[in-house]
Amino acid sequence: MGQWNDKFERAGRRWSEWTMHEYAQTDRVIGHIIEDKARRHPHHEVFRFRERTVSFEELNASSNRAANGFRALGIGPGDKVALMLSNRVEFLFAWFGLNRIGAVCVPINIALKGEGLAYQIDHADCVALVVEPAYADALGAIADRLPKLHHTIVVDARAQPRFAAWPGRETLHFDELMSHAETAPGVSVDFRQLSTISYTSGTTGRSKGVLISHHYWYEIWAQAVKYARYTDEDVLYTGLPFFHTSAHGTTGPALLADAQAVFVERFSASRMLDDCRRWNCTSAKFIGGMLSILMKQTASPLDADNPLRLMVGAAAPPHLWHAFEARFNTRLLELYGMTECSSCLVNPYDERRAGACGKAITGYDVRVVDDLDNEVAQGQAGELVVRPQRPFLGTSGYYKDAEATLDLFRNLWMHTGDLARQDEDGYFHFVDRKKQALRRRGENISSFEVEAVIGAHPAVLESCVVGVPSELGEDDVKAVVVLRRGEQLSECELIRWCEPRLAYFAIPRYVAFRDSLPKTPSERVEKYRLRAEGVTADCWDRERAGVVIDRNSVSRSSKTVLDLQRPLRES
């Protein structure tokens, strides 16, 4: 535990001695920042893709080459270009190159196919596409549904003929795009201009295109540098996909802090710590499911032998918090946000609280309100709403969706669609997605809390809890459960595990054991799919099986679910 404290406190001392170079508001343009960094620290290696490193000097030159290449194709300010790429350096060159000329990057979820894929590219009005060969078949199947697409830029020349067959489109290799001059293109870009259209993960329905300006990216990055106390000695690690904004909570902070960002193809529980030891990574990004999977790996004496002082992310399971920190000799920094209002809540660095998603410390006002937008009493659950305190912080809305934008900014507050409560010390606690909250027999149930209890069982790898229609009205609780490899668990055993840990009305009626959960490539469970399928043939029915719940042995307050799992004090 001493090593853990030393890593954390040493970083705090280092931060107090280090000052990040702040950019004036009008200079908060991605191209300006890269150019300035190349002038100040040309040989600093800011990005690493395993053995491939990129210095500020190369990043600036390559971004300019890409910018001039796009201009040669007739692409200019306001034009949208789709990037369907995995975590590779070409993504960053293309993104930053487009932004140099005032054009807009549209990252595409690499797992999309069919209607969802066609929708995002066409809805965003993309005139060009940068793509790698792995996605040729998926794109070929919808090529005739993309009439606005005029250029296809392929990162592997050997696959170019597969795309050249698309009628009415120019196809070229990425090297051709990069064959242009490395001098700045000379296009004036304003800090308020659109940088990116980022489509939501679609876990609750059709994706919406979130508008992100140059200035908003800067705010996201600068606040991350401050709340995580990054300095030029840090090495940041992520396996989150580039099409997801969370991945660029690594890209941008490394850029601003003169640190280094290490990118790997995808998250791997078996490789992550080895990677961090190999490149001396001091910080890593996570989402909640990753922590559960890491904890359920076979324990090793090497687990605590790593350079990570901090892991930054969202949805850390409260019952794992302290055990995770002790086992892996690091500290968790929990935050909450959406693409629309990134990191509006963060646990203060020196006052982290397990089970809380933080306080409003990054430039937002945050409240919890009822269905009429009136603020609720302390401790009461309601919808989390957010309001920026500074100009140009947060999204300006959804692309070509005025109705959804007006709904987002209802009564001049951003409505997150998430339920939360605020404790007496000002910390906010996530309860559930508003659309995913359940109501059974007049009682409100948090699927998040039920999942926490099920996930705490030693045999369970992960779970998802949704509501399905009840013959008595409202919802019945359905749990879809994935077991750890080699483990066995019966439905009845799972129910008995839940009894002393859940209010009787929150204990699942239906249980289905499966090999995996449907997920987006950013590892978010697609709950809407499990909810939409209803009661399937593989669902075990507790009531039909005659399993009776002893109501006297369980708490009637679902609020105690998380409290039961927390240690009395931090060791």
Q: What is the pLDDT of residue 552?
A: 58
> Cα-atom radius of gyration of the chain, to the nearest Å?
24
565 by DSSP, 3-state: which?
A: helix
Distance of CA 525 to the CA centre of its chain: 12
Q: What is the pLDDT of residue 569?
A: 25
Tokens 């064959």, located at residue:
179
pTM of the model: 0.82
Q: 271: buried, middle or exposed (CB in 10 Å: 19+, 13-18, 0-12)?
A: middle
CATH top class, domain 213-433? alpha beta
How many CB atoms are located within 10 Å of the residue 148 CB? 12
Distance CA 420, CA 431 (A): 5
Domain edges within the chain: 30-189, 213-433, 437-565
- Contact yes or no for 440/404 (Cβ under 8 A): no
Strand ranges in 23-90 using DSSP code E only, listed in sequence order: 45-49, 52-55, 80-84
Q: What are phi and psi of 311, to 5 degrees?
A: -125, 125
- The secondary structure element, H or E, covering residue 223 is helix 214-228
Q: What is the pLDDT of residue 442?
A: 63
Q: Which CATH number fits domain 437-565: 3.40.30.10, 1.25.40.420, 2.60.40.3080, 3.30.300.30?
A: 3.30.300.30
User: 30-189 with 213-433: one CATH topology?
Assistant: yes
Architecture in CATH for domain 30-189: 3-Layer(aba) Sandwich (3.40)
* Residues forming a β-bridge with 3: none
Q: What is the pLDDT along the chain (571 residues), one digit of tens a residue?
A: 456 567 777 777 777 777 788 999 999 999 999 999 999 999 999 999 999 999 999 999 999 999 999 999 999 999 999 999 999 999 999 999 999 999 999 999 888 888 888 999 999 999 999 999 989 888 988 898 999 999 999 998 666 666 766 766 888 999 999 999 999 999 999 999 999 999 986 545 578 999 999 999 999 999 999 999 999 999 999 999 999 899 999 999 999 999 999 999 999 999 999 999 999 999 999 987 789 889 989 999 999 999 999 999 998 888 889 999 999 999 999 999 999 999 999 999 999 999 899 999 999 999 999 999 999 999 998 999 999 999 999 999 999 999 999 999 999 999 998 889 999 999 999 887 777 667 776 667 778 778 888 988 999 999 999 988 887 667 889 999 999 999 999 999 999 999 888 878 889 999 999 999 988 766 678 887 888 899 999 999 998 998 888 765 544 333 333 333 322 222 2
- HSE-up (13 A, CA, CB side) for residue 287: 21
How many CB atoms are located within 10 Å of the residue 49 CB? 17
Q: What is the pLDDT of residue 560?
A: 35
Of 127, 155, 138, 140, whose CA–CA distance to 70 is shortest?
127
DSSP string, 330-345: --EEEEEEETTEEEEE
Beta pairing class for 341-346 and 332-338: antiparallel
